């Protein structure tokens, strides 16, 4: 009597395990299929842009010489070189060493630390432009603030976003948009306008400092 009972229990357990294995396999297949659909459903941004450009070339039979003459190749080279330079500079370890030195003074849990962080972002944004500054400091600023609290991390990202954006108004080098405006003004017809660095600083410095201070007072934990 005991042996058939044990055999029945073994058979039932085996059936339950097989059923569980089957359900797990089905679930894995469903997850895999969903992941495949999500990957296949996303289009690569680079290839999408190239495909659209080729389609326009085929459909538009006009001479492209006029459009190509309006392309600012110097700015394209500037952007390409900027990201290559930022990545190479980041690998030197200098940004990490600089942040390790400044981090104790840039804690955003007190007003002095917020001011120091804002000054660092302002200065770097106008030495290397605001996009490289965000790429170099973003992760470090966020990680430093996360050691204080989750609210401080959110505040740090807001400070970085605000100051790096407004810092672009301080000088021509602060933002790539300024360089584009300067280039377009110089090439404008019938007579180009040369926007010099000092002319921009006369308006950029006071307005940037005032707007930055107002924004920092509005950013709360």
pLDDT digits (tens, 9 = 90+) for 81-94: 888 888 888 888 88
pTM for this entry:
0.63
Domain annotation covers residue 58: no
The residue with tokens 């059936």 is 15
Domain annotation covers residue 95: yes
Domain annotation covers residue 166: yes
Element (DSSP H or E) covering residue 6: helix 2-41
**Which tokens in the block code for residue 196?**
């010099």
Half-sphere exposure of 72 (CA within 13 A, CB side): 18
Domain annotation covers residue 120: yes
* Rounded alpha-carbon distances, angstroms, from residue 41 to 73, 142, 207: 34, 32, 46
| More confident site: 187 or 99 | 99
Q: Is the pLDDT of residue 13 over 70?
A: no
DSSP 8-class letter at 70: T
For residue 182, the enclosing domain spans 63-218
Domain annotation covers residue 21: no
When pLDDT is cut at 50, 70 and 90, the band that residue 215 belongs to is very high
Q: Into how many domains does the chain fold?
A: 1
Q: Is the pLDDT of residue 137 over 90?
A: no
Looking at the chain, the number of H-run helices and the number of E-run strands are 10, 0
Domain annotation covers residue 169: yes
Cα–Cα dist 167/161, whole Å: 10
Element (DSSP H or E) covering residue 60: none
Q: Are 187 and 179 in contact (CB under 8 A)?
A: no
Cα 124 from chain centre: 16
Domain annotation covers residue 28: no
Cα–Cα dist 104/157, whole Å: 18
Q: Are 72 and 177 in contact (CB under 8 A)?
A: no
């Amino acid at each position: 009597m005991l042996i058939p009972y044990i055999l029945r229990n073994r058979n039932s357990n085996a059936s339950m395990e097989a059923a569980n294995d089957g359900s797990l396999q089905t679930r894995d297949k469903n997850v895999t299929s969903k992941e495949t659909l999500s990957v296949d459903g996303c289009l690569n941004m680079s290839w999408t842009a190239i495909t659209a450009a080729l389609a326009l070339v085929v459909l538009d039979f006009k001479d492209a010489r006029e459009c190509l003459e309006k392309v600012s190749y110097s700015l394209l080279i500037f952007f390409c070189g900027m990201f290559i330079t930022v990545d190479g500079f980041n690998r030197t370890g200098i940004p990490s060493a600089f942040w390790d030195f400044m981090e104790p003074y840039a804690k955003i849990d007190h007003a002095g630390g917020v001011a120091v962080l804002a000054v660092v972002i302002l200065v770097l944004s106008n030495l290397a432009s605001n996009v490289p500054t965000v790429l170099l400091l973003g992760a470090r600023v966020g990680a430093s603030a996360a050691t204080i609290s989750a609210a401080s991390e959110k505040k740090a990202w807001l400070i970085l976003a605000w100051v790096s954006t407004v810092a672009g108004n301080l000088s021509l080098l602060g933002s790539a948009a300024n360089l584009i405006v300067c280039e377009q003004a110089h090439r404008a017809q019938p007579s180009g306008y040369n926007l010099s660095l000092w002319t921009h600083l006369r308006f950029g410095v006071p307005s940037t400092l005032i707007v930055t201070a107002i924004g920092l007072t509005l950013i709360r934990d």
